[in-house]
Amino acid sequence: MDILTLHIVVPVLTLVGISLVKGQNMTRWTAAVGMGLQLLLSVYLVFSYLDAKGISPETEVFFTRSIVWFESLNIRYDIGVDGIAVAMIMLTSIVIFTGVFASWELKNMYKEFFIALILLSAGVFGFFISQDLFLMFLFFELAVIPMYLLIGIWGSGPKEYAAMKLTLMLMGGSALLLVGILLLYFGAGALTGTPTFNLHELAAVDFPMEIQRWIFPLTFIGFGVIGALFPFHTWSPDGHSSAPTAVSMLHAGVLMKLGGYGCLKVAIYLVPEAALEMGWIFLILTGISVMYGALGVIKQTDLKYINAYSSVSHCGLVLFAILMFNQTAMNGAVLQMVSHGLMTALFFALIGMLYSRTGTRLVHEMGGLMKTLPFLSVAYVLAGLASLGLPGLSGFVAEMTIFVGAFQNSDLFHRVFTIIAISSIVVTAVYILRVVGALLLGPIKKEKFMNLKDATWYEKLATVTLLLCIVGIGLAPLWLSDMIMNSLESIINQLTGL
């Protein structure tokens, strides 16, 4: 079996395993072992990708495989990865691995929880390895739907409302997306004779402008909804704040990245002319997202809301960078996806851990936690520093790549929006430091915080894994950046019409 299919098979086997074993301990260990295997597999994938790329630098997509699925509709099980997908797969397996440990102590219907969680991750893995739009859409839906259960059953607060809102909005987005995909499919059928879902075959089709003008907004908004594009982002604060820890991690860390990835690989790659023509509309929206999310954070008091809005800002930056239409900025976008995925997962994990100890998520009710919870607090500070773009941590690499790329567009319109986006780093610093100051520093606010217990081994494992990745990318970004950069060639070629 090829390595990519294994990425789906391992979670599925883990699911089977979980449903067979009994008891909480067995269940979580099965999940942990399965996802640990998945992590190793992804690491192996990274190395074999780098090897393969080293041998044939001209090839774009590796480990391809194409099995006919529905012959009459020309739907195929087309899989393969390029550097971007490899990076995203790596991110996903890290986040799901740590997510399992973040939900280690879950008591209520743990078996079903892990099943839904891992099913979701299987959907994400499938999404990233797909080279066929139909398959991609299928996995996309597979990733979105367990979310409803995960939030609706294991969430907190107004969970039914949040779950419903999130699911409906994402479904609305995917409905638009489906229309876009079908337009592509039948459009290709009308133009070349054989309708196809294959990404690369579609890329070769020269769609007339009238169709492109429909496809681009449909697909971009369709993916943009899950990428928290203003004004379709409101599912994010409610959803994240109601979701259980691991789900928030996976959702903000990985699922929101499906949006950016899809915008890049579908909306822009397949209909480049319309993208170039209509990009400015969405650039305004993303520019608003970035600043709006950042300013919106300042007034929030719930840690999860804070992180959700900051995710809106950071994910806005991803789409913003994609719309800059140059290799550097797009590289930055992918780096930002990876970096934001890691740090937001870390944030949500830490918030969950703090919540389980203090019983509150409101910033002003906490204070001085650095004294009693040094490990978690230091991790939180580091996550915060990564989020505000401190050099040596992953956020800096991503943001700087985006900014340098964005600056390559020299007209006034792009300049103004670039400067707005760059200004957000100051606002980010403001809100991060406010939170850190209120939460961790200062005198201890409540008597009961005096004897809190610091992280347990599984919490440490989750935190350290994420931190290592953040620091690792922050200190040595070149390999990742080059890996992504090389995979952007074909998209750039599409845009420049080569």
Residues contributing to the site for other proteins (CB under 8 A):
165, 168-169, 230-231, 233-235, 237-238, 292, 295-300, 327-328, 331, 368, 370-371, 385, 388-392, 396-397, 400-401, 403-405, 407-408, 410, 419, 422-423, 425-426, 429-430, 433-434, 437, 440-444, 477-478, 481-482, 485
Least Cβ distance, residue 283 to other proteins (angstroms): 18
Least Cβ distance, residue 328 to other proteins (angstroms): 5
Round to whole Å and give the CA distance between 382 and 387: 8
Q: What is the DSSP letter of 145?
A: H
**Of residues 27 and 409, the one with the C-beta less far from other proteins:** 409
Least Cβ distance, residue 5 to other proteins (angstroms): 33
**Of residues 200 and 434, the one with the C-beta less far from other proteins:** 434
Total number of residues shown for the chain: 498
Least Cβ distance, residue 480 to other proteins (angstroms): 10
Least Cβ distance, residue 431 to other proteins (angstroms): 9
Question: Taking the CA of residue 215 as centre, how many other CA atoms within 13 Å lie in the half-sphere pointing to its CB?
Answer: 29
Strand partners, 88: none
**Of residues 183 and 335, the one with the C-beta less far from other proteins:** 335
**Of residues 235 and 325, the one with the C-beta less far from other proteins:** 235
Least Cβ distance, residue 298 to other proteins (angstroms): 4
**Of residues 412 and 498, the one with the C-beta less far from other proteins:** 412
**Of residues 253 and 296, the one with the C-beta less far from other proteins:** 296
Round to whole Å and give the CA distance between 299 and 382: 22
Strand partners, 77: 67
Spatial neighbors of 6 by CB under 8 A, at least 6 apart, are 41
Round to whole Å and give the CA distance between 218 and 179: 7
Integer angstrom CA distances of residue 211 from 198, 206, 432, 490:
18, 10, 44, 22
**Of residues 60 and 482, the one with the C-beta less far from other proteins:** 482
Round to whole Å and give the CA distance between 448 and 374: 16
Least Cβ distance, residue 181 to other proteins (angstroms): 23
Q: Which has the closest alpha carbon to 470: 37, 50, 46, 95?
A: 95
Round to whole Å and give the CA distance between 444 and 358: 12
Structure tokens at 421: 């986006």
Least Cβ distance, residue 23 to other proteins (angstroms): 35
**Of residues 82 and 399, the one with the C-beta less far from other proteins:** 399
* 458 close to 104: Cβ distance less than 8 angstroms: yes
Interhelix angle 159-192/235-242, nearest 10 degrees: 130
